[in-house]
């Protein structure tokens, strides 16, 4: 492929809204073009990478028995009503009406459509198990689109769904998917961290996320370096150490003028943050939920959301808090009314705590929840942090950040029961199929590879997904140089390699800068000096220096390079 015939662009300046390396280089290298917030067009250079990733994923899905299908992105509201998700999902699900005034959705995920396809064919246990997968554009009306392809509104996803007659069979296939995911990510040069995760809108009971460990990640991960425990911070469990002080001390009101934060209060009273209790309020279906967690931790809204089975969980306003007898900024559930009180497990047996006095400018010392709060529920509702200990081995936990590369879920019968995807068992009974779900965001994986593999000049694509195998650069405008480049291109193409020839009338520096932005693993430069000795410059994208190689040895050397 001659660059003069290719459709491309490169940018010298960093786009003003790009902060993550992947966003910067995918824009500068002419891989993607923004069309709207969180919506990107894919230029030829980016499309080639995307298709290589798709090919790699397809190979791994086929290797574990996957059958590829294709499902509509536009679906009827009735289908989503069958599962209950039409009303359960918020504004991120785009709803509209067609010209016949029929309610429709633009699918953000395909559980309903895939279950509908399964029930169309499935009738007997003899047809189980099977796994169907697709590559499909999806639309999620994301409120926080960011980071280029990392978080978008329209995206390409590989989603797979398996159907089974027993939980044991699902467990077996789940492990096959797990291993296939590890192979996929390793083939693109990523060694993922695998964490337990929240099942969210997908439902089910067991889920794992495959994460790229990176400081630019939007997810927070909790890890134990001692025993290997790994989980998303939102749902991570940890060992509680209830604060123990003077259990017999009676509550004492003390002045804390203008001290509303835990940090300010603990410094002012000269007490550790873990000896305080943080009070947070939510409005759940017009009921005030008062949540209490140790002052050195935060409330996990995901844990609370799952506990309450809430569709919407919003902060309570000050009027609602005061109506329950509590004072915002200086609040506690002591003496409160008309509120549901939930305290974290770490406070159930704690004593001698500092809590709000429900009076502006005052707190209470020596509080003990079991003694001083009339009624409450106990639940795991605090977020883990590096201050906490591992729930398995008791050693200190580590916190890091990550980008989600893919996820797998054991859905169980959530969708098959509600949508009637059943089969006749060996003894003639009608049973719902047991399901699993397995997703990878293809564009996000492309961006994650750049986050994981780049230098100051551009992406360093792994051989498996690079847009071309070889880039040939002519160092000067010279017919003889172009003739050599064309001969190399012809030989390499016949041998099965994809070649990009930079035949532009540009300075070598410009060509080399663009070559770095395109991140092709191997660059061959044809120049007059080398040609005198029958040689070309051979440079790997991963190396700073080049070597001189005989022209007649190039083909075999490329074959050897790509055989490794």
- Once rounded to an integer, what is the mean pLDDT over residues 236-250? 93
**pTM for the model:** 0.88
CA distance 108 to 240: 38
Q: Take residue 418 and report the two structure tokens written for it.
A: 């509600």
CA distance 290 to 323: 13
Residue 32 · residue 40 · CB < 8 Å: yes
193, pLDDT greater than 80: yes
CA distance 292 to 347: 8
Give pLDDT tens digits for 448-504: 999 999 999 999 999 999 999 999 999 988 889 999 999 999 999 999 999 999 999
What's the whole-number average pLDDT of the chain?
A: 94
> In the structure, what pLDDT confidence band is assigned to residue 204 with cuts at 50, 70 and 90?
low
3-state helix, strand, coil in the chain (%, to 5): 30, 30, 40
* Listed residue (185, 177, 178, 134) closest to 156, CA to CA: 134
Transcribe 225-262 into DSSP letters.
TTT--EEETTT---B-----S-TTPPPEEEE-TT--SH
**Whole-number pLDDT of residue 197:** 76
Can you tell me whether residue 333 is helix, strand or coil? Answer: coil
**Whole-number pLDDT of residue 199:** 61
Q: Does 129 sit behind a cis peptide bond, omega within 30 degrees of 0 on the bond before it?
A: yes
Give pLDDT tens digits for 77-121: 999 999 999 998 888 999 999 999 999 999 999 999 999 999 999
Residue 541 · residue 516 · CB < 8 Å: yes
Place of tokens 């067991």: 206
Give pLDDT tens digits for 407-446: 999 999 999 999 999 999 999 999 999 999 999 999 999 9
For the chain, give the percent of residues with pLDDT over 70: 98
Q: Take residue 84 and report the two structure tokens written for it.
A: 């209950």
CA distance 61 to 54: 10
Residue 190 · residue 162 · CB < 8 Å: no
- Once rounded to an integer, what is the mean pLDDT over residues 197-220? 79
CA distance 110 to 164: 18
260, pLDDT greater than 90: no
Give pLDDT tens digits for 34-87: 999 999 999 999 999 999 999 999 999 999 999 999 999 999 999 999 999 999
* Listed residue (459, 470, 515, 500) closest to 10, CA to CA: 515
Q: 335 in the Ramachandran plot: left (φ > 0), alpha (ψ -120 to 50) or beta? A: left
- Once rounded to an integer, what is the mean pLDDT over residues 17-34? 96
> In the structure, what pLDDT confidence band is assigned to residue 203 with cuts at 50, 70 and 90?
low
Domains of the chain and CATH, by start = 17-71+107-215+401-451 (3.30.930.10), 252-379 (3.90.960.10), 470-563 (3.40.50.800)
Place of tokens 């994986």: 445
**Residue 269 β-bridge partners:** none
Distances (CA, A) of 351 to 142, 147, 271, 540: 43, 45, 13, 63
**Whole-number pLDDT of residue 198:** 67
Give pLDDT tens digits for 363-419: 999 999 999 999 999 999 999 999 899 999 999 999 999 999 999 999 999 999 999
């Amino acid at each position: 492929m001659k660059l003069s015939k290719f459709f491309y662009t490169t940018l010298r300046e960093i786009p003003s809204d790009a902060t993550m390396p992947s966003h910067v280089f995918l824009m500068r290298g002419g891989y993607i073009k923004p069309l709207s917030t969180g919506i990107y067009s894919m230029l030829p250079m980016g499309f080639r990478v995307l298709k290589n990733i798709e090919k790699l994923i397809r190979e791994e899905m086929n290797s574990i028995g996957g059958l590829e299908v294709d499902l509509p992105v536009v679906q009827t509201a009735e289908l989503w009503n069958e599962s209950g998700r039409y009303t359960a999902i918020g504004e991120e699900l785009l709803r509209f009406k067609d010209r016949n005034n029929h309610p429709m959705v633009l699918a953000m995920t395909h559980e309903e459509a895939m279950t509908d396809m399964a029930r169309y064919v499935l009738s007997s246990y003899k047809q189980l198990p099977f796994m169907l997968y697709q590559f499909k554009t999806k639309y999620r009306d994301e409120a926080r689109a960011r980071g280029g392809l990392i978080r978008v509104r329209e995206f390409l996803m590989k989603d797979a769904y398996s159907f089974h007659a027993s939980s044991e069979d699902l467990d077996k296939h789940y492990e096959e998917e797990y291993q296939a995911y590890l192979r996929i990510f390793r083939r693109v040069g990523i060694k993922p961290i695998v964490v337990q995760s929240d099942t969210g809108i997908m439902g089910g009971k067991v889920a794992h996320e495959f994460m790229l460990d990176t400081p630019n990640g939007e997810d927070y991960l909790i890890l134990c370096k001692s025993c290997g425990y790994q989980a998303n911070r939102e749902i991570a469990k940890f060992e509680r150490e209830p604060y123990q002080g003077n259990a017999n001390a009676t509550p004492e009101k003390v002045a804390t003028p203008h001290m509303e934060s835990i940090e300010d209060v603990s410094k002012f009273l000269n007490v550790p943050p873990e000896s305080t209790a943080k009070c947070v309020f939510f409005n759940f279906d017009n009921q005030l939920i008062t949540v209490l967690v140790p002052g050195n931790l935060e409330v996990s809204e995901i844990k609370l959301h799952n506990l309450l089975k809430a569709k919407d969980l919003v902060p309570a306003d000050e009027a609602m808090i005061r109506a329950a007898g509590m004072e915002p900024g200086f609040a506690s559930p002591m003496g409160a009314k008309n509120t549901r009180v939930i305290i974290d497990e770490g406070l159930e047996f704690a004593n001698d705590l500092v809590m709000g006095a429900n009076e502006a400018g005052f707190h209470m010392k020596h509080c003990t929840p079991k003694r001083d709060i009339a009624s409450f529920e106990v639940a795991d509702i605090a977020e883990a942090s590096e201050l906490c200990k591992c729930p398995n081995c008791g050693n200190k936990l580590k916190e890091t950040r990550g980008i989600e590369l893919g996820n797998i879920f054991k859905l169980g019968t959530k969708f098959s029961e509600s949508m009637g995807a059943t089969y006749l068992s060996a003894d003639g009974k009608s049973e719902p199929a047991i399901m699993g779900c397995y997703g990878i965001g293809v564009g996000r994986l492309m961006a994650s590879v750049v986050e994981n593999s780049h230098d100051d000049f551009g992406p360093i694509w792994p051989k498996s997904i690079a847009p071309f195998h070889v880039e040939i650069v002519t160092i000067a405008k010279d017919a003889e140089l172009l003739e050599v480049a064309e001969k190399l291109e012809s030989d390499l193409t016949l041998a099965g390699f994809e070649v990009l020839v930079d035949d532009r009338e540009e300075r070598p520096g410009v060509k080399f800068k663009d070559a770095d932005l395109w991140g092709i693993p191997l660059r061959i430069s044809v120049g007059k000096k080398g040609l005198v000795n029958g040689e070309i410059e051979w440079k790997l994208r991963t190396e700073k220096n080049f070597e001189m190689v005989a022209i007649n040895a190039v083909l075999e050397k490329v074959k050897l390079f790509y055989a490794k």
